[in-house]
């Protein structure tokens, strides 16, 4: 998300090499993701940076030196974690067993109602659970509040998502690394 879309007090974190670091996580941000108030692209950005993917000169994201080898081999270009089933499955499987319930334990998330159960939404829940597991693995607390991107209204068609979101694919999705 461009810096202009961040709240006025949101300062990007910087990596040792001066590159912009990952967007800071908070309970408010993760709840916004679950409530479909961010683009699918933004959800991907939250995870890509934490998986070691780095932006390239063409606006895409590529595996970097800190990307886990299994991810870099399977997805040399950052995968569309919401649109592509194989990437979502890998994300789910990469959550350590002891952290599979963090979404319920930390956010009180009971799941979506039957009428609101769509692949985009379940993949967003997976993404949030992965982010919670990422924090837990590092012994980091989840602050209640923090910087937020410009929040969107939930999409009128939750299957299609927000303008610009890629269509959600089944088994044969492919990585594009950029949009």
Domains and CATH numbers, the chain: 21-170 (1.10.418.90)
pLDDT score, position 21: 65
pLDDT score, position 18: 39
pLDDT in tens, 6-15: 232 333 443 4
How many helices and strands, by DSSP H and E, does the chain display? 6, 2
- Average pLDDT on 130-154 reads 96
pLDDT score, position 178: 40
pTM of the prediction? 0.83
pLDDT in tens, 33-80: 999 999 999 999 999 999 999 999 998 999 999 999 999 999 999 999
pLDDT score, position 169: 80
Q: What one-character DSSP code corresponds to residue 67?
A: S
Q: What one-character DSSP code corresponds to residue 61?
A: E
pLDDT in tens, 75-129: 999 999 999 999 999 999 999 999 999 999 999 888 877 777 788 999 999 999 9
| pLDDT-derived band at 170, boundaries 50, 70, 90 | low
What would the DSSP string read from start to end of 68-125? -HHHHHH-SBPP-TTT-HHHHHHHHHTS-GGGTTHHHHHH------GGG--HHHHHHH
Cβ atoms of 48 and 63 closer than 8 Å: no
CA-CA distance, 117 to 145, in Å (whole number)? Answer: 27
């Amino acid at each position: 998300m461009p810096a202009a879309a961040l709240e006025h007090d949101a300062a990007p974190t910087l990596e040792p090499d001066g590159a912009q670091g990952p967007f800071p996580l908070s309970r408010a941000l993760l709840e916004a993701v679950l409530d479909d108030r961010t683009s699918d692209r933004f959800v991907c950005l939250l995870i890509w940076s934490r998986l070691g993917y780095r932006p390239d000169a063409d606006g895409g994201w590529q595996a970097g030196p800190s990307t886990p080898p299994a991810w870099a081999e399977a997805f040399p270009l950052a995968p569309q974690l919401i649109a592509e089933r194989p990437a979502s499955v890998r994300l789910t499987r990469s959550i350590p067993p002891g952290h599979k319930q963090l979404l319920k334990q930390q956010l009180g998330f009971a799941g979506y109602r039957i009428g609101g159960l769509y692949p985009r939404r379940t993949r967003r829940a997976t993404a949030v659970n992965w982010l919670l597991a990422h924090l837990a693995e590092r012994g980091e607390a989840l602050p209640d509040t923090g910087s937020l991107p410009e929040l969107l209204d939930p999409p009128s068609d939750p299957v299609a998502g927000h303008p610009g979101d890629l269509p959600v694919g089944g088994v044969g999705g492919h990585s594009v690394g950029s949009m």
